[in-house]
Amino acid sequence: MVTRMLFRAVIMGPPGSGKGTVSDRIVKNFALKHLSSGDLLRTNVQNKTEIGVVAKSYIDQGQLVPDDVITRLVLQELHKINETNWLLDGFPRTVPQAVALDKAFHINSVIDLNVPFQTIKDRLTARWIHPASGRVYNTEFNPPKVPEVDDLTGEPLVQREDDKPETVTRRLKGYEALTRPVLEYYQGRHWLILGKRFATMGD
């Protein structure tokens, strides 16, 4: 009897580095299931599951969801697709999360989107939206005809809270403090080989 080898990968990178876009390209080319911890968390909060209610209590207070809660949520979902090749996006964010994932599954590859923080700040803070329609503008490569005004309706554009310079800076600092050590964890286990754009991990 031949045992089928499963492929499991993690994609990492700062907020705004393009993990979702890159993940879409990877799963289309390599037939992996893409699992986003952020999407999973939002779905559980919206559906008011047991874990979702607990997570929301922290989110409403402006706190990070604790490691044990988010880990339980993600691992529970991964066990549901136990016989599937997958790409995990947004998890692990901390070393305890990485250790828990490592104990539960054999990870074949870690991809690190090595995008300079200044590039991310420039990209995100240049983004403006029309709330009613969801139209997105970028002051660098897709600017509105009139600054901060929607082309079609003439209504004012807004900048999402997450895209404001002070918020972007805070999120990037949080990533540096919490998630960079995760890359060091993988490097310390000799699993991570840093590339120019990506980091990959061999067996």
Residues paired with 111 in a beta bridge = 11
The verdict on whether residue 20 carries a ligand-binding annotation is yes
Residue 17 contacts residue 115 (beta carbons within 8 Å):
yes
Token couple for 147: 């600054």
The verdict on whether residue 69 carries a ligand-binding annotation is no
C-alpha to C-alpha distance for 85 and 82, rounded to whole angstroms: 8
Helices (H) and strands (E) in the chain, counts: 8, 8
Catalytic, 123? Answer: no
The verdict on whether residue 170 carries a ligand-binding annotation is no
The verdict on whether residue 137 carries a ligand-binding annotation is yes
Tell me which of 160, 164, 173, 180 is the catalytic residue.
160
Tell me which of 8, 72, 135, 171 is the catalytic residue.
171
Catalytic, 180? Answer: no
Catalytic, 93? Answer: yes
The verdict on whether residue 25 carries a ligand-binding annotation is no
Alpha helix (H) residue ranges in 31-164: 37-47, 50-59, 67-80, 95-104, 117-125
The verdict on whether residue 63 carries a ligand-binding annotation is yes
The verdict on whether residue 160 carries a ligand-binding annotation is yes
Residues with active-site annotation: 19, 93, 127, 160, 171
Residue ranges for the known binding site for GTP are 16-21, 127, 136-137
Known binding residues for AMP are: 37, 42, 63-65, 90-93, 97, 160, 171
